[in-house]
Amino acid sequence: MAIMLPANPLKRTFYRAMTSFFAALAAVLISIYESTLRFEVEGEDHLRLLRAQKQNYIVAVWHTFVTAAVFTLHHRHFCIYSDHPRTEAYERSWTHFFREIGLKTLRSLGFDVLDASLGKQSAGVLNFIKKIQNGTPAIVAPDGPHGPIYEAKPGVIYMAAKAGSVVVPIGASFSRRVVGANWDDFSLPLPFSRVAFVIGEPIYPPKDLSEAALAAQSKKVEEVLDQLCFRANEMLNTRPEIISPQAK
């Protein structure tokens, strides 16, 4: 069955209606599922200070924990960059159909999704940078879209430099989760799990945009993200001290 957008107006309208219906249903189910999770956020003051200073910023989170960012930040109107292979085989695949549902779901949750597949890839990146320059915060997985896992590429630092923004690293952890079989260990917290979310201090891009400088700053992003994830694990594994009345 051809899944690419049908040329026939009636079929195209039906296709759009179907993807919109499933996206609306998915948004409702996600909201119900999200209500079962208990979020523990540390470092919120870093974002408050950036907003007070009207400083543009890009949130960096490992691909594994993108869902944590979606669940925790969906009410903040972040921009998400999305692209896909520009091949007819992909356009006719079920993956493309489910991608359309996913993008519409993200929009219904309050995200500003920039679909770079609607034009040239270079134009998509430029439009993404312009959105950040105009004050829309963004979410980026520095080890995406194809890995290697937990290795930060220089793209996020480069975009931050071009957009006049900073990079805000965020670590996450789930008390209970299911892990996918993809390269990124894509994880979903199980219902009624605890989700730790640690927001780090802003990382400023270098003025020198040479390959060596970008690589060095990307390594810093990588190290900080790992540290924040370790801290998130500590939050979930540390039980609060209980002081009995007799001990007072």
Q: What is the mean pLDDT of each run of 10 residues along the chain (248 residues)?
A: 58 86 93 92 94 94 87 82 68 76 89 73 81 92 87 93 95 92 87 94 94 94 96 82 44
State the first-to-last Cα distance of the chain, in angstroms, to the nearest integer.
71
Q: For residue 109, what pLDDT is reported?
A: 87
User: What are the helix (H) ranges across the chain?
Assistant: 9-34, 44-52, 66-73, 88-91, 94-108, 121-133, 155-163, 211-237
Q: What distance in Å separates the CA atoms of residue 69 and residue 243, rounded to the nearest whole number? A: 34
Strand partners, 171: 198
In this structure, the strands spanning 177-179 and 112-115 are unpaired
Q: CA torsion angle for 175, 49, 62, 198 (degrees, to 10)?
A: -20
148 contacts 156 by C-beta, under 8 angstroms: no
The residue among 82, 63, 78 whose CA lies nearest residue 124 is: 82
At residue 195, the 3 state secondary structure works out as strand
What pLDDT does residue 1 have? Answer: 36
pTM, two decimal places? 0.83
